[in-house]
Each structure stands twice: as structure tokens, then as C-alpha cells.
Amino acid sequence: MATHRIDIKRLPRVQELQSLLTITPAAAESALSAFDRSFREHERALFSSEGASGGAIWAPLSPKYAARKRRRWPGRRILTATGRLRRSLVQSDPEHVREWHLVGENALLVVGTRDPVAAFHHEGTPRMPKRDPIQMVERQEAAMRASAAKALIPHVTRAIRALFARSA
């Protein structure tokens, strides 16, 4: 028997098609911008509803702390004593995390906060119940993923046009 083999992945056209799926820094930045915008909107709703919009209402403050908070920060809601944590999640703030990392051919989008108190609220402590400042239901997470994916469409469209222009 005589045979001849070709590696399909090494065909020029297949390699060109695979390049359409490569995430460029510009594409990652576009996806991150859309994802971050969606995340901040979610966080605004989360803080306004004291956790309810994310699926779990935040635990009430202890009576002792609630009284102290009313005196020191009157009118402030749960998780907004100074407002630092909320600002770091909903505004352009030095504590806001907004970054992307290329991992192989994939991009990892990261949003959140560097505010150290976030970890204590996220996990809870022996003296303080968990009040997660970053929580969401599946449909909210799906909407954020969709916003990032939609932001990639112009990048893929440009790559497709360039591919067809080369083959014309």
C-alpha cells in the first residue's frame, strides 16, 4: 500500500482560518471594556439593592454597629460606610481592577477591586457575616459574557475581510 498524508492544520487556508480565532491585544481590550461596563452596571444595582439583585440579600448589620454607623455615616447603606469599596467597584478608581491576560491563545478578563476589605466581606469573619460585594446570578454573568463576545465581532469581521482580500 502506498499513501500520502497531509496535516490539515498545516494547510495555509486552515491556518488563516485559525488566525481568526486568535485574540489580539486590541480585541482583548475591546472585550474587557464591554465586560467592565456591564460589570459596573451590575455592581451599581447590587449596591442599590443591598445584594438582592445578585441573588442574596446582604445580612443586616448588627444592632451595635448599625447604631454606630448611623452616628458616623448617616444614611449610608450596607457596605458603604466610607464609600471606598463601592467606588472601587463602580467607578474609575485606583482600587478598581480592570485587566486582561493572554493565556495561550485565549484572553482572560478580570474585573473587581483591590480594596482589602472586600475579602473580609466576601468570606465573612467570626464577627461579621458574609456580604459578598461581587455576586451574581447566572443570567447576569451570561449577559456580561455576551457583552464581551459582542465586542469581539468587529475584530473578527476585520480579520475575515482581510482574509478574503488576500485570497481575491
Q: Mean pLDDT, to the nearest integer, of 117-146?
A: 92
**Within-domain flag for 8:** no
**Within-domain flag for 11:** no
Q: Mean pLDDT, to the nearest integer, of 105-122?
A: 90
**Within-domain flag for 135:** yes
pLDDT tens sequence across 140-166: 999 999 999 999 889 888 888 887 777
**Within-domain flag for 141:** yes
Provide the pLDDT for residue 3: 42
User: How many structural domains does the chain have?
Assistant: 1
Provide the pLDDT for residue 168: 61
**Within-domain flag for 126:** yes
**Within-domain flag for 43:** yes
Question: What does each C-alpha distance from 76 to 24, 53, 153 come to in angstroms?
Answer: 43, 18, 41
The answer to whether the pTM exceeds 0.95 is no
Residue range of the domain that includes 138: 22-153
List own/partner pairs for 146-152 with CB under 8 A and 24 or more apart: 147/34, 147/35, 147/37, 147/38, 148/31, 148/32, 148/34, 148/35, 148/38, 148/109, 149/31, 150/34, 151/30, 151/31, 151/33, 151/34, 151/35, 152/23, 152/27, 152/30, 152/31
**Within-domain flag for 166:** no
